Amino acid sequence: MDKNQYKGIYVFAEQRGGVIQNVAFELIGKASELAEGIKEEVTAILLGYQVEGLAQQLIAAGADKVLVVDDECLKDYITEPYAQAIVHIVNTRKPEIVLIGATTIGRDLGPRLSARLCTGLTADCTSLDIDEDRNLLMTRPAFGGNLMATIICKEHRPQMSTVRPGVMHRKEIDPSRKGEIEKVEVPFDRSKFAVRLIKREVETKNLIDITEANVLISGGRGVGTGDGFDKLRKLAKTINAEVSSSRAMVDAGIMPHERQVGQTGKTVRPDLYFACGISGAIQHLAGMEESDFIIAINKDKFAPIFQVSDMGIVGDVHKIIPILTEKIEALHNKKKA
Ligand SMILES: Cc1cc2nc3c(=O)[nH]c(=O)nc-3n(C[C@H](O)[C@H](O)[C@H](O)COP(=O)(O)OP(=O)(O)OC[C@H]3O[C@@H](n4cnc5c(N)ncnc54)[C@H](O)[C@@H]3O)c2cc1C
């Protein structure tokens, strides 16, 4: 394989219902940083139906070029048409690197692409870099999160990686940024479209996704299975926060998986993260240590969570949370009066 034929960094710009997902902007941010180092361009791949109007958003976020495949078969995500479109783009354009968000869609698409393109895929990366031989250094937790492994794809191109939402930083949006938008015609083999979307049911949710919350109050085993989480919810209400948890409480059936922070849950980066009764296992830290300000409440002063926290309170979470709630409520009432 002549590796020199492969140029540029491509990002799969995932959109759902005409809304570009945050992870696409984050990946474009990271891709721009990597591209600068190897003097290459960032190209976003935008697939969908009647989505061309979204392309400028990707340029404003840092893409130099947007390849748009607009076809009715791409209206909703279905593996086969999406895989055919990207395989066509990769085979005709030969990118050096392809980045995909590790969303449910990206996790379905990535392995399919890597098999069809006969190249490697490193899933769920937490950091990306490029070495002097232009190998993409793809770092991800290994052995249950106990060590970080840096993986390279030396023999094959493109180098492909999925990255979890919330891990990379997006660039500042520049609406005046100029770039090229190109429509690509894909010769779809529709005889291979074995799956049809019959019905779509969107789960109605009243809660904000924890990855979008500015303030998170997270509870662990120390909060317990009694009324501990009700106390956290009460505090959350007073400061307009969302409640999340460690895996221990998801395993205990107290919290749903979508509220789990950590390596096998979600990566969050709120302005303020309360870690209540959470020990600070490496798999939990992997999902929250980038938070701007961390307040840990734990009765064990040697708990590892205190090593990453900006403020630590040693004590019983069942006593401290109600006191905090009371004090904040009193402040609110004072302001109102
Ligand atoms: C492959 C793999 C993936 C994993 N993925 C995740 C993940 O995504 N997210 C995750 O969170 N974990 C994950 N884990 C599990 C992780 O290793 C820990 O087991 C888990 O994070 C522990 O949760 P915890 O801190 O709530 O509980 P514990 O470790 O049991 O800690 C409870 C803490 O509460 C304190 N405490 C007890 N009572 C009180 C009280 N009354 N007041 C104040 N403090 C109190 C204790 O001192 C202790 O520090 C994963 C593990 C593996 C092997």
DSSP 1-33: --GGG---EEEE--EETTEE-HHHHHHHHHHHH
The whole-angstrom separation of Cα 87 and Cα 186 is 10
Q: Is the CB of 278 under 6 A from ligand 1?
A: yes
The whole-angstrom separation of Cα 315 and Cα 320 is 7
Q: C-alpha distances in angstroms, 330 versus 140, 217, 231?
A: 45, 20, 16
Q: Are 217 and 274 in contact (CB under 8 A)?
A: yes
Q: Which residues pair with 182 in a beta bridge?
A: 67
Q: Are 113 and 83 in contact (CB under 8 A)?
A: yes
Q: Is the CB of 122 under 6 A from ligand 1?
A: no
Under DSSP, the state recorded for 74 is: G
Q: Are 273 and 288 in contact (CB under 8 A)?
A: yes
Look at residue 329 in the predicted model and tell me its pLDDT. 93
Torsion-angle region of 152 (φ positive above 0: left; ψ -120 to 50: alpha; else: beta): beta
Look at residue 164 in the predicted model and tell me its pLDDT. 87
Tokens of 98: 């392809």
Under DSSP, the state recorded for 326 is: H
The whole-angstrom separation of Cα 169 and Cα 159 is 21
CA of 296 to the centre of ligand 1 (A): 13
Residue for token digits 């956290």?
A: 232
The whole-angstrom separation of Cα 13 and Cα 181 is 13
Kindly report the backbone phi and psi dihedral angles of residue 146, in degrees, each rounded to the nearest multiple of 5, phi listed first.
Answer: -80, -15
Torsion-angle region of 125 (φ positive above 0: left; ψ -120 to 50: alpha; else: beta): beta
HEC profile for 219-257?
ECHHHCCCCHHHHHHHHHHHHCCEEEECHHHHHCCCCCH
Q: List per-block mean pLDDT (blocks of 10 residues) for the chain, which spans 337 residues.
A: 91 96 96 96 98 98 98 97 98 98 96 98 95 95 82 96 91 95 98 93 77 95 95 96 97 94 92 98 93 97 97 97 96 85
Look at residue 28 in the predicted model and tell me its pLDDT. 98
Ligand 1 atom nearest to 219, measured from its CA: 26
Tokens of 319: 């006593």
Has this prediction a pTM greater than 0.85?
no
Q: Which residues pair with 151 in a beta bridge?
A: 138
Q: Which residues pair with 101 in a beta bridge?
A: 163
Neighbours of 41 (CB within 10 A): 17
Look at residue 206 in the predicted model and tell me its pLDDT. 65
Nearest CA to 179 out of 19, 57, 15, 94 is that of 57
The whole-angstrom separation of Cα 111 and Cα 106 is 9
Q: Are 171 and 180 in contact (CB under 8 A)?
A: no
Q: Is the CB of 141 under 6 A from ligand 1?
A: no
CA of 128 to the centre of ligand 1 (A): 28
* Mutation to probe ligand 1, out of 299, 308, 321, 324 (largest number of atoms < 8 A from CB): 299
Ligand 1 atom nearest to 318, measured from its CA: 41
Distance of CA 60 to the CA centre of its chain: 20
CA of 317 to the centre of ligand 1 (A): 14
**Any idea what the Cα angle at residue 186 is, between residues 27 and 69, rounded to 5°?**
40
